[in-house]
Amino acid sequence: MKTLLTAFVGSMALATAPMAMSAEANKELKMAYDADPVSLDIHEQLSGGMLQLSHMTFDPLIRWTKDLGFEPRLAKSWERIDENTMRFELREGVNFHSGNELTAKDVKFTFDRLKQSQDYKAIFKPFSELKVIDDYTFELVTTEPYPLLLNTATYIFPLDSEFYTGKTESGKDKSAITKHGNSFASENLSGTGPYVITGRQQGVRVEFERFDDYWDTESPGNVGKIVLTPIKENNTRVSALLSGGVDFIAPVPPTDLERIRRDKNSDLVTMSGTRIILFHMNQDRVEAFKNPKVREAIAYAINQEGIAAKIMKGFATPAAQMSPDGYQGHNDSLAPRFDVEKAQQLMKEAGYEDGFTISMMAPNNRYVNDDKIAQAVAAMLARINIKVDLKTLPKAQYWPEYDARAADMMMIGWHADTEDSANFFEFLTFCPDAESGDGQYNAGNYCNPDIDELVNKANVETDLDKRTAMLKEVEQRLYDDAAFVPLHWQDLAWASKKNVKIEPILNVMNFPYLGDLVVE
């Protein structure tokens, strides 16, 4: 497959050779993340890692700017036609890596595929269709007035419809989305993005080269080659940067922030984050979790402030709800409730004074200090006689386990895809429904149709005050019900060598726009 890819890239380079390259993209960047992308199919999984890959090899219609505004990318302009319709104008003369030209039919193909994707279908539920007007014009139509239309458009990365259509040699459909499987799309990629993948060894390294025919000639980016190496060990990753082995690392563990700040040759960029880290309690697997008292006891047993202060070194904000400060649903009256005695009391009332044994799983290279947090939580649960069988796994193995709901308590971190509270609920607390994609990441199987109804109402509410009140009420009710155990909002940190100017390309979504990266 790799040879195919290389041959393909080679032929493409020949085809585009006569065209002059715009910017002098001759710098090389070696970067180390804690993990590499689990697949090349950007619709296979909705995760930070996959979106980072999307921003390197594809382009969205529009993208978030640093101050949470929108900037045009493949869509050069947009206007509202009526309360349910938004018309977009596509940029002309944009080519895919395969050489095909981008037209509205590619966008339609992508939209339809997103509607099929297990992970994305819930986000695109409010949309009824994508109407192609002509080659460079299309309309996004929603069933009801939808306030987050543009937010969602940042998730449309047009795919090369010709490239992804047809059958492979072995007769498989090229457009198929297979979770954790070997589909055509998981091993081949053709987007419009600034980088082409020239080599990939899962878990070892991914090599990117600047796309010669990239449409954005204004981009200041001058990196011609990127080598991404996953380094799981925090300490090793930091050492790799300090010793000069790599130029750019993320995430930076909280324990090493000071060390990098002190280093003369490195730059550190931090931002307070909006990604909530939480544990789900699976009610389908554990009878006791059906009892709200037990769930509440667990919520009381866990010391969020301790974790944020000690394990995260203050590099996180303790949470009692999902919406971070500044989101519409953020409810100021909710505070972390840590009280071991109360927790023991609740366990007693629920009739589980002697406790029980549960299994717990957490990734060990996905979130900052994820395995240490899980260990600490396991120790805290021992106080209320809940014995924890803890297993931590690398994320490439963790997500299949997560999708199979393989443990009684599972950790997940969530960043609202639409920068809005409702997104948390739709994915993490809605009654799971494979058909609509609701509750796709609700590993607790918590189900309260009343709350779901309230969120759905808020979604079509255009009066901001009313919407805020509704979302706040949702947070309050989830809190009272102890639907899940929130831990903290994780802060973000990146570090690079001084000559790598990462600051302008970073944002709170943690999607580094590497296409615009300048290396001096």
Partner 1 sequence: MTTATLSRWDRFRESFLWYSFKRDKVAIASFIVLVSMVLAAIFAPLLAPADPYDLAQINIMNSELPPVGLDGSDPAFPLGTDAQGRDLLSTILYGTRVSLLIGFGAVVLQAALGILFGLLAGYLGGRVDSILMRIADVQLSFSTLMVAIIVGAVFKASFGNLMFGEIAIYMLIFIIGVSEWPQIARTVRASVLAEKKKEYVDAAKVMGFRTRRIMFRHILPNTLSPIFVIATVQIANAIISEAALSFLGLGMPETQPSLGSLIKSGFDYIQSGSWWITLIPGLVLVVLVLVINLLGDWLRDVMNPRLYKG
Q: Is the alpha carbon torsion for 39, 43, 47, 53 positive or negative?
A: positive
Phi then psi dihedrals of residue 446, to 5 deg = -65, 140
Measured CA to CA, the distance from residue 414 to residue 212 in angstroms comes to 35
Q: Which one among 253, 273, 318, 432 touches partner 1, defined by CB under 8 A? A: 253
Q: Which one among 85, 100, 345, 359 touches partner 1, defined by CB under 8 A? A: 359
Q: Which one among 56, 74, 238, 412 touches partner 1, defined by CB under 8 A? A: 238
Least distance (Å) between residue 449 CB and partner 1: 35
Does 219 help bind partner 1 (rule: CB under 8 A)? no
Rg (CA), the chain: 23
Size of the site for partner 1 (CB under 8 A): 32
Q: Which one among 382, 404, 434, 464 touches partner 1, defined by CB under 8 A? A: 382
Measured CA to CA, the distance from residue 504 to residue 517 in angstroms comes to 8
**389 CB neighbour count, 10 Å cutoff:** 12
**Choices 292-300, 383-391, 414-422, 440-448; region in contact with partner 1 by CB under 8 A:** 383-391
Least distance (Å) between residue 498 CB and partner 1: 20
Measured CA to CA, the distance from residue 491 to residue 250 in angstroms comes to 12
Least distance (Å) between residue 234 CB and partner 1: 5
Does 259 help bind partner 1 (rule: CB under 8 A)? yes
Across 217-252, b (16+ Cβ under 10 Å) vs e yields eebebbbbbbbbbbbeebeebbbbbbeeebbbbbbb
Least distance (Å) between residue 408 CB and partner 1: 12
**Choices 23-31, 138-146, 305-313, 430-438; region in contact with partner 1 by CB under 8 A:** 305-313
Does 235 help bind partner 1 (rule: CB under 8 A)? yes
Q: Which one among 311, 410, 458, 471 touches partner 1, defined by CB under 8 A? A: 311
The crossing angle, in degrees rounded to 10, of helices 464-481 and 449-459 is 160
Q: Which one among 57, 234, 317, 321 touches partner 1, defined by CB under 8 A? A: 234
Residue 435: helix, strand or coil by DSSP?
A: coil
Least distance (Å) between residue 337 CB and partner 1: 16
Q: Which one among 68, 379, 404, 434 touches partner 1, defined by CB under 8 A? A: 379
Does 485 help bind partner 1 (rule: CB under 8 A)? no
Does 135 help bind partner 1 (rule: CB under 8 A)? no
Does 197 help bind partner 1 (rule: CB under 8 A)? no
Does 239 help bind partner 1 (rule: CB under 8 A)? yes
Measured CA to CA, the distance from residue 54 to residue 69 in angstroms comes to 19
Please name the residues in contact with 193: beta carbons below 8 A apart, sequence gap of 6 or more. 54, 55, 56, 57, 58, 59, 97, 157, 211, 214, 515
| Through-space distance between the first and last CA atoms of the chain, rounded to whole angstroms | 35
> 110: which 2 tokens?
């992508």
Sites of contact with partner 1 (CB under 8 A) = 233-235, 238-239, 253, 255-256, 258-259, 303, 306-307, 309-311, 357, 359, 372, 375-376, 378-380, 382-383, 385, 387-391
